[in-house]
Amino acid sequence: MSHRHLAFLALALGVLYTVLARPARADDSEIFYSASSNSAGPNVMFIVDTSGSMSQTIPGATYTGSYGGGTYTGNCSATTVYFLSSSQDPAKYKCGEASDIVSTSLQCTKGSAALTSSGYYSDVFIQYRLASGTNYNWYTSLQSGSSYASDNVACKGDYPTSPASSAGNNNGYPASNSASANPTNAEWTTSTSAVYWSAETGTAYTAYLGNYLNYLQGGTTAAPYNSATNYVTANTGAGCSTTVIYFYGSATAPNGKLGCTIPTSNIKSTTIRARPARRITGAPMAWRR
């Protein structure tokens, strides 16, 4: 081989070695890389999600309770139906308050089936309660308080149903409050000309079985899924992983929604504060602790 060929081969090998020896970079994704030789090393970036969904509890097991099953223990009565508006979070709802809208007499065929299978049911509801003297009427709003728990509650989802007698847990349809349509002031009817729903409406709620609320709020199988300003490390309680960091929202209730027993001494409070980092050449603004 001539000297010319050897020189060319040596040059080619030198160029190849230079290319292979450079560290690999992903260009667009290397947001911490700077071409400046005087730049500091990359910082560790923490991303903390504080959006509303992070305060919700995601159960760790499938709901297996049934209407009246009493599978899950908690502050809610397992066989009672609780009515919550769209603005109320069932995972945070506190049962036993005077403002509870509850029922032990839900006369809703579709709702009863849903509560048995899934634990909740959304619909438009009405309540049959005392109007004056001994006269009762159907009301578009549901009254709060345990004293109204035994008053019948009907749902619009049962109308129309065939046969009509199967609606309202086999009571039929709620009867109209109109004296002309319902001269006997009956509570239920199977006559389509006297049905409350044909001319009236009610209030939208989601009905939750107390057993299901207990399940959402801890029960026996709920798993931790809360990010906040407190975290738990070095867990030694029953069912706790020694390698998992549990994000949790309150040091005053260390066991409230966790699927394991956390010793109170292991609750450590921390505050994560972020500040703008230097703008890195060729990269977007990053954040560092």
Q: Is residue 58 part of a domain?
A: no
Q: Give me the number of domains the chain comprises.
A: 1
Residue 117 has pLDDT above 70, yes or no: yes
Q: CA-to-CA distance for 216 and 256, rounded, in angstroms? A: 11
Mean pLDDT of the 249-262 span: 45
Report residue 240's pLDDT band, with 50, 70 and 90 as the boundaries: low
Q: Is residue 119 part of a domain?
A: yes
Mean pLDDT of the 88-102 span: 92
Domain of 187 in residue numbering reads as 63-216
Query: Residue 3 phi/psi, 5° resolution?
Result: -60, -35
179: left (phi over 0), alpha (psi -120 to 50) or beta: alpha
What is the 3 state secondary structure string of 85-124?
CCCCCCCCCCCCCCCCCEECCECCHHHHHHHHHCCEEEEE
pTM, to two decimals: 0.57
Q: CA-to-CA distance for 153 and 125, rounded, in angstroms? A: 7
Report residue 265's pLDDT band, with 50, 70 and 90 as the boundaries: low
Q: Is residue 99 part of a domain?
A: yes
Beta-carbon count within 10 A of 60 CB: 12
**Which amino acid is located at 152 in the chain?**
N
Three-state DSSP class for 287?
A: strand
Q: Is residue 178 part of a domain?
A: yes
| 30 burial type by CB count under 10 A (0-12 exposed, 13-18 middle, 19+ buried) | middle
**Residue 289 Cα distances to 19, 24, 93, 286, angstroms:** 35, 27, 35, 10
Three-state DSSP class for 156?
A: helix
Mean pLDDT of the 163-169 span: 93
Mean pLDDT of the 214-239 span: 53
Average pLDDT, the chain: 73
The pair of structure tokens assigned to 256 is: 């409230």
Beta bridge partners of 123: 205
Residue 105 has pLDDT above 80, yes or no: yes
E-strand ranges in 241-286 read: 246-248, 267-269, 275-276
DSSP 8-state class, residue 210? H
The larger pLDDT score, comparing residue 152 to residue 225, is at 152
70: left (phi over 0), alpha (psi -120 to 50) or beta: left
Query: Residue 127 phi/psi, 5° resolution?
Result: -130, 135
Report residue 63's pLDDT band, with 50, 70 and 90 as the boundaries: confident
Q: Is residue 257 part of a domain?
A: no
Q: CA-to-CA distance for 194 and 183, rounded, in angstroms? A: 10
Q: Is residue 111 part of a domain?
A: yes
Mean pLDDT of the 263-289 span: 44
Mean pLDDT of the 166-183 span: 94
What are 9-62's pLDDT values in tens digits? Answer: 767 777 666 655 555 555 545 554 555 566 666 566 666 666 766 655 555 556
Q: Is residue 134 part of a domain?
A: yes
> Following DSSP, what letter does each residue of 19-78 receive, concatenated?
HHHSPP--GGG-TT--S-TTPPPPPP------SGGGGS--BSS-----TT---S-SSS-T
Q: Is residue 51 part of a domain?
A: no
Give the dihedral sign, CA 120/78/90/230. negative
